[in-house]
A and B are shown apart, each in its own frame.
Chain A
Amino acid sequence: MRIFKSRAVRAITTAVAVGLIATGCSSDRDGGDAKGGDKDTFVFAGAGDPGSLDPALASDGETFRVTRQAFEALLEHEPGGSKLVGGLAEKWSSDEAGKVWTFNLRQNVKFHDGEAFNAAAVCANYDHWFNWKGTYQSSAVSYYWQTIMGGFAKNEDAEAPKPNYKSCTAKDENTAVIEVNEPSANLPGGFSLQALAIHSPKAIKEYEKQDATAKGDAITYPKYSQEAGTVAGTGPYKIVKWNKGNKEVSLERFDDYWGAKAKVKNLVFRTISTEETRRQALQAGDIDGYDLVAPADVTTLEKEGYEVPTRDVFNIFYLGMSQSANPALKKPEVRQAITHAIDRENLVNTQLPEGGKVATQFMPDTVAGYSDKVKTYPFDTAKAKDLLKQAGEEKLSIDFCYPTEVTRPYMPAPQDMFELMKADLEKAGITIKPKAMKWAPDYLDATEAGSCALHMLGWTGDFNDGYNFIGTWFAGPDKQWGFKDQKVFDAVNAASEVTDPAGRTEAYKKANEAIMEYVPGVPISSSPPAIAFAKNVNPPKVSPLTQENFAEVSFK
């Protein structure tokens, strides 16, 4: 026994010694001062893996955050703002009808694979997308192309949208002309989207050799989009490696970049799916920054000395009403009563981070077309009760769906927000039947199908045009809302046909007024999402569109 005992003691001693060595080896970790003396690498954590290295196949922010550092579109937004400015095109203009778009391209721009950027390269991209076949025509693959440019050269699905793209011509080396069939509210904003960023023509030839196939039970993305190597853009960083096992995409400074060179040599995007883990990884010094900071953490992190810049509001959170799910909602008095019943001020003060704003219409005040003259529905429980009485719905009982296990930039704590609204509505005498659902796909499917009488949703804008907000919901009948009001639809669509910016802004104002007269749902708030960085980091300008340029990042 003695021997066994001493062996056991020796084993334990060894284990402790190993532990101590481990401690010694990693004692240079210090909250907020990541990576010791290595200032060549900046590590940023997002919440989800990118889906593809070719942004044209994607429609999600996690993918675009990565690709945006490597690919540039014809237009972009001013740093830190939402105004359209030149990107790969220095100047652009359209004819009066809004059908012919001319781009004067930037010169001396090179792709990562050494190819020269010119008008032919621009057309190679647009023609490549327009000629997509088979699986590429599925909206799951080419969502943004279809939203901005409609269908394809040969639509294979009878229900695919009508193509709006007509042609792209290289007028000369540095002038590209893109023609569309009809003027569209999505232009010129659409030209700034990552999904329509310009790739090297040489890379496109490689892309075209590969096919996205619908084999077995899902769409298989082409190999080039899953491994760094083929893709090539013109951005300040080039993508060098996608280590899926370690959940990180590595980028390296592109030394031939035409603009201001990236300050940090290596940029790594890492996926850490839970918010709690991201925060602790920053505090432990494992990463240098992360996105989707919980509003409750903002003040704590700031007090601890972290950089927590807040983006300008560019989103909207609303209480949706589905008239098909509950016919009582067809009565304007009932919709108005619900709107009066909710204390939006209180929701903003208690649930949103500093800078949150009460919404009066379905777009934030940073978007052109925001109107100061919309009909407002101040918090007034007595009035809500009156209106319900007028409508003969004093005993209204209604389903209220809310999502679980999710936070969105516009909706930091869905369950708490639901509880507050439920209490408000109950004060006005409405019986609430709560329905909790998992965010994806249950909740999204149910709200989309219009089966939730009351539900909470929101939207972060893609580009600064009113249509990107109100057009999303009110351009025509939509199951989510379940109503048909030609006055509202006409008002929204009228704006998309106006080509001069001032006129369009006016038209959107009118549309907002029409919508709030009809009050299809309750716009509630706009909130500023925060993004956190280590203490030794000079953060990039944060963008209301979440389009940060990491080439601006440096270490102190």
Chain B
Amino acid sequence: MLRLVVRRLLQLIPTLLGLSVLLFLWLNRLPGGPASAILGERATEAEVARINRALGLDEPVHVQYWRFLKRIFELDLGTSTQTGQPVWDEFALRFPATVELSVAAILIAVVVGIPMGYLAAKHRGGWLDVASVSGSLLGICIPVFFLAMLLRGIFSVELGWFPSQGRLTTGINATDVTGFAVLDGLLTGELDASWDAITHLILPAVALASIPLAVIVRMTRASVLEVLGEDYIRTAESKGLDKRTVRGRHVLRNALLPVITAVGLLTGSLLSGAVLTESVFDFGGIGSFIRTAIDGRDYPVLVGFILFIAMVYVLINLLVDLAYSIIDPRVRVH
């Protein structure tokens, strides 16, 4: 197990190195260069030259790359040009919101999706099957931002059930401990704040969950159908084993392996997919920050975000492999 973890962590290095070269080349090909992005439209040529000197942009490319790389290894992501604050601080401020939203979305997708897919497979051809298959198709078809706007229009503007935007209602007494609003409320005993944070999470999380939910339903259904057709299941059932044991231990366990991989990858993509949902609900996480960073060409933030997402993907893959090896001991042998 430890070897697996170490090997996977080592794999981070070439991935991130490759990415750093791509990012560096991208930054160097920008029109006007970083100086004009920093100084904005009012910069004089002398100012641009001064910034270029200050940043060492007049030095040879390999020297610049080496410095860029060193900074990444020192975890110095630079300063956001939109806010004038260190990129790390900005991420630390907003990351919990995005994690909270993504976790909520993936929870909805897993908790609803796996039983739904399982039931659909069990009742293949029945109304439940038809409903979940066509429902999941709809989930994939509707663009997330449209669904988000639809949900907000109905459930917050028309019905007034949920808040329309933000993470917390103004005036709610919430102490910031970890940055995770739901958790903070529980830790400090401010249950009102936790509850308020949950009501703010529901609509965006449902919108964000739509695609993973659809994928999970379909994958679980297909996977369960496949396993149900396997000889060993028939054997087990014909041997008169308890049906519950067969389905729980054999069918679900084996059917869930591909689903777990999918959940891992979906979680990674949710982090970057949150950009649109967060924008619609002005959720205050990384997503909406990235959107404004794209608009304002805030390169340090974009570079940091891309590196960060790459790291998250590698780590999630690691977790998926670990989960895999727990469910299916054969994986550990290799």
Contact = CB atoms under 8 A, between A and B. Distances in A.
A23 B161 contact: yes
Interface string A225-255: 0100000000000000000111110100000
A25 B199 contact: yes
Given A246-B166, A272-B282, A273-B282, A285 B160 contact: yes
B160 A29 contact: yes
B199 A245 contact: no
B237 interface: no
B86 A220 contact: yes
Given A246-B284, A273-B279, A445-B41, A219 B160 contact: no
Interface stretch (B45-53, B228-236, B266-274, B306-314): B45-53
**Residue of B39, B79, B84 most packed against chain A (CB within 10 A):** B84
Contact of A220 (B79, B160, B199, B288): B79
Interface residues of A, number: 66
A391 interface: no
A157 interface: yes
A396 interface: no
Given A51-B84, A214-B51, A1 B122 contact: yes
Interface residues of B, number: 76
Interface in B72-115: 76, 78-81, 83-86, 93-94, 96-97, 111, 115
Nearest to A439: B295
A138 B94 CA distance: 29
Interface in B138-174: 149, 152-153, 156-157, 159-171
B202 interface: yes
B8 interface: no
B156 A284 contact: yes
B280 A274 contact: yes
Among B42, B162, B166, B300, chain A packs the most CB atoms within 10 A around the CB of B166
A284 B84 contact: no
A329 to B, nearest CB: 22
Interface string A2-27: 01100010010000000000110111
Interface in B251-302: 279-282, 284, 288, 291-292, 295-297, 299-300
A251 to B, nearest CB: 12
Contact of B44 (A143, A159, A286): A159
A22 B161 contact: yes
Contacts of A158: 46
A266 B50 CA distance: 44
Given A11-B115, A217-B78, A245-B176, A440 B170 contact: no
Given A215-B79, A220-B86, A140 B43 contact: yes
B3 interface: no
Interface string A151-173: 00000011100000000000000
A140 B39 contact: yes
Nearest to A444: B41
Contacts of A1: 122, 243, 247
10 closest A-B pairs (Cβ-Cβ)?
A221-B84, A218-B79, A29-B160, A284-B164, A216-B78, A159-B46, A284-B156, A218-B81, A217-B78, A281-B164
Interface of B: 32, 34, 36-47, 50-51, 54-55, 71, 76, 78-81, 83-86, 93-94, 96-97, 111, 115, 119, 122, 149, 152-153, 156-157, 159-171, 176, 179, 195, 198-199, 202, 243-244, 247, 279-282, 284, 288, 291-292, 295-297, 299-300
15 contacts: A22-B161, A25-B195, A31-B157, A51-B83, A139-B39, A139-B43, A159-B44, A220-B79, A245-B93, A247-B282, A247-B284, A270-B170, A286-B156, A438-B295, A441-B36
